[in-house]
Amino acid sequence: TSSPGPSSTPATRPASASSTSWRTCSASPRAPAATSGSPAARYFPSKYRREIGRLNGELEGVVLESIRRSREIADEGRTTSTYGRGLLAMLLAEMEKKKEKGAGDDGKFSYDTRLVIDECKTFFFAGHETSALLLTWTLMLLATHPEWQDKARAEVSQVCGDDPPSADQLSKLTVLQMIIHETLRLYPPATLLPRMAFEDIRLGDLHLPRGLSVWIPVLAIHHDESIWGADAHEFHPERFAAGRRSSAGAGRFLPFAAGPRNCVGQAYALFEAKVVLAMLLANFRFTISDDYRHAPVNVLTLRPKYGVPVHLRPLRP
């Protein structure tokens, strides 16, 4: 049985659009050099770029349909908030506030709609592959470290019994949380964080002029022996026993970035990972396949080049 990953048979149209778009965009490093090496590359017609355009149109159609449904909910008064709940609702409510205050004419309002669409596309991509990869790498590490798999399973059994985990129980799964954090340290989904200096900054003897692009090497920081010790490249979840902040310190553990521009979905991602892993641990024992080849590759995200085949054995007949 293969480890979790993007579904090839999505159950819904939004999932289909985002999954297909992600797979196509992820192939961008393999695009022909003649169309990818210059600023004018976007204007060269090609089968690849036509497919990107088609998928982008389909994905934007999905977002516009979600906006339409949210507005219907608001018009019908089916929720106490203006547009319902969730990130899309917050964006639409903020856009409506600007419109009511006369922040711009119809053209400005249209521009705000474009911003909402672009933000929703970011939510699709940022939350799709990254969550799947977190589960994939965690399963690989648990399958190759059975002692930690047993510890996590015992904790799930003690806290949750035979029932699916509740929100309150998830907060008590501290061993599982340590394992997830160590997985994110070793295999952060995003290996680089782009930032820009909005003013001149001086860091010691280093001068960063305004407008300079800065790339934060997350993977290098997470594997730095001067920060994590001589075993920085090894799987040791106990290093997070005192909690993420106490164990790592500020600016050293960055799977979701840091500061006011950190990942808006990090709490949901950790919640999702705990639920899935707790259910798997409660029902299966997993071991790594002899066919597994360890080859992490960085293509937008840090993924296993040859997948992660694992064997699942049911714990109950």
Which residues belong to the active site?
130, 256, 263
Beta-carbon contacts of 41 under 8 Å, excluding residues fewer than 6 positions away, are 35
3-class secondary-structure state, position 231:
coil
What DSSP string runs through 29-69? GGS-HHHHSSGGGGGS--HHHHHHHHHHHHHHHHHHHHHHH
Q: Could you tell me if 183 and 214 are in contact, meaning their C-beta atoms sit under 8 angstroms apart?
A: no
| Position 291, amino acid | D
Q: How far apart are CA 210 and CA 201, in angstroms?
A: 7
Residue 160 annotated as binding site? no
3-class secondary-structure state, position 196:
strand
Q: How far apart are CA 205 and CA 203, in angstroms?
A: 6
**Other C-beta atoms lying within 10 Å of the C-beta of residue 184:** 27
Cβ-count burial of 303 within 10 angstroms (0-12 exposed, 13-18 middle, 19+ buried)? buried
Q: How far apart are CA 163 and CA 89, in angstroms?
A: 32
Beta-carbon contacts of 171 under 8 Å, excluding residues fewer than 6 positions away, are none
- Cα 283 → chain centroid: 25
| Position 191, amino acid | T
Q: How far apart are CA 291 and CA 282, in angstroms?
A: 25
Task: Tell me which residue of 249, 146, 144 sits closest to 187, measured CA to CA.
Answer: 144
Task: Tell me which residue of 85, 88, 89, 90 sits closest to 122, measured CA to CA.
Answer: 88
Using left for φ > 0, alpha for ψ between -120 and 50, and beta otherwise, residue 307 falls in left
**Other C-beta atoms lying within 10 Å of the C-beta of residue 214:** 11
Binding-site residues sit at 263
Specify binding-site residues for heme: 263
